[in-house]
Amino acid sequence: MEGVQHRMVEVNGINIHIAEKGEGPVILFLHGFPELWYSWRHQILALSNMGFRTVAPDLRGYGDSDIPESVDSYTCFHMVGDLVELIDVLDPREGKVFVVGHDWGAILAWFLCLFRPDKVKALVNLSVPFLRFDRNIKPIELWRAYYGSDHYMSRFQEYGEIEGEFAWVGMDRVEKEFLTDFPVLLPKGKLFKRPLDEPITLPSWLSEEEANYYVTKFQKTGFTGPLNFYRNFDRNWELLKPWVGCKITTPAKFMMGDKDLVYHMPGMKDYIHNGGFQEDVPSLKEVVVLEGVDHFISMEKPDEVNQYIFDFFSRFH
C-alpha cells in the first residue's frame, strides 16, 4: 500500500482513523462488516491514480478508530454525525464529497444522503440497496420470522453471547469464514459449515497476507463495536420514523453480485428490479448485477468496480 497515508481525525467526539492517497476531488469510501478501511485497497490505489483524493476511514468501533463502549453509541445518527464532520474536515471549502459505500457502509451512505444531501456530490453503493423503512416493521423480527432464530442478525443481538462463541472458535477462523463464505445462518454450537479442524481455502481474490491484516486488527479490537451496528437495527427504524416516505435525491448508481446473500433476502430482487428501488431513489441512474459475484464485490471484482466509480464520478467534475 505504497503512498497511502494514515492519520487520526477527531470528529463527533471520537477519534477516527483514515487512510488516504492522491490529490483532487475527495471520494469517501465506507466499509462494511466485518471489514476495515483495507477493503478499499484496490480502489484507493486505482482511483488516486485517476485524479481523485481517496479517503477510507475505519468506521466507529472498527480497527484503529475509537470503540465507544455503549451499544447506544452506534445508532444511525452517531454514524452519520461522524461522517458529516469528517466531510467538513476533508473538504473545508465546499463540505461536499463523492461517496462509495459497501454493506453497512452503503446503509450509512443512504442515511447520509437522506439526512444531509448537501454533503454528497454523487453516490456509488455496493451490495445493499436503499432499505425502505416502514413504521410497522422491525427488521430483525422480520428476518427472524423468515430465516429462523439462527439468522446471523438475530444471533448478533444479544450483547456478549456471540462474542463468546467467536472467542471460542478463534478470531482467525471467524474472520476468514466471514470473508470466504459469509454465513446467513450461525447455528449455536456449529457456527460455520466447515468443521473447525478443516482448513479454510481462501477465495482467489484474498491472499493469506491480506486476510491476516484483518485478523490482526480484530484480534486486537474484538467484534463488539461492529456487532453494535446490528444491535441498533430495530432502534434505527424507530428513530427514522420522521423520514418515512422520503426520497433519496442524490445522483446514485448501484452494483452488486448475483450470489450476494443480500440479493437473496426476501423481497429484495423484486424491490431492486420492479420499481421500488427507483421509486425511493428517483435519481438512481443504473443498477448493475454482476453474474457469479459474491458479497465482497470491491475485492472480488476491483477492476469493474474501479471503472464503474470512475466513469460515474467523472461526470461531475
Catalytic positions: 103, 230, 295
With b for 16 or more beta-carbon neighbours within 10 A and e for fewer, the 233-269 pattern comes to bbbbbeebeeeeeeebebbbbbbbbeebbbbebeebe
Those residues with Cβ within 8 angstroms of residue 79's Cβ, 6 or more apart along the chain or in another chain: 59, 60, 108, 111, 229
Tell me the residue type at 189: G
Residues in the chain, total: 317
Interior angle at CA 111, CA 292 and CA 252, nearest 5: 55
